[in-house]
Amino acid sequence: MERQGLIEVYTGDGKGKSTAAFGLALRASGWGMHTAIVQFMKPGEGYGETEAIAQIPYIHLYSFGIKGFLRKGEQPDQESLKAASAAMQKAVQMMNDPNIDILILDEINNAIYFDLVSEEEVLSLLDQKRPDQELILTGRSATAVIIARADLVTEMKEIKHPYQKGISARRGIEY
């Protein structure tokens, strides 16, 4: 029997969206399933998950982004647009790879929010999803249309965060 792949969205203002997706990849690895993680807006260095994933079988990580932050309403710089375009190309490639059971598009919702990729491009990608491949989209600010297209949506809601007490991001915990 062929496995049914669904579309999952992890969104919201709370912590844990990428962590949940990576946890799913870890679980799948235990069953010999191949996961490709395409990270939007992350340069791929300076994150604990990058170091760990390099040691876990069946998980393939591809990071596209530049250091620094974007602000909503400002025109994205050319380097960020180029990185997002490369990430979309890698996403299409991984979607078409019959060996990839799970495709995680990490921070793609943020890439839409910051106008690095269009909602239409992402919807086109959803239209191309293989029936047997699980597709996971993470990041804050998932659009209503993306949410409507998903089979599973989890919203992470911030109730309390150490940043509110002035506690900075901690290595191994937040990055």
Question: Residue 47 belongs to what domain range?
Answer: 7-165
Q: Which residues on neighbouring strands pair with residue 59, listed in sequence order? A: 35
For the chain (175 residues), the mean pLDDT of every run of 10, in chain order, is 88 96 97 98 85 94 87 87 97 98 98 97 96 98 98 96 88 84
Residue 117 lies in a domain: yes
Domain count, the chain: 1
CB neighbours of residue 122 within 10 Å? 23
CATH code of the domain covering residue 49 = 3.40.50.300
| pTM for this predicted structure | 0.93
pLDDT of 164: 87
pLDDT tens digits, one per residue of 40-63: 998 888 788 888 999 999 999 999
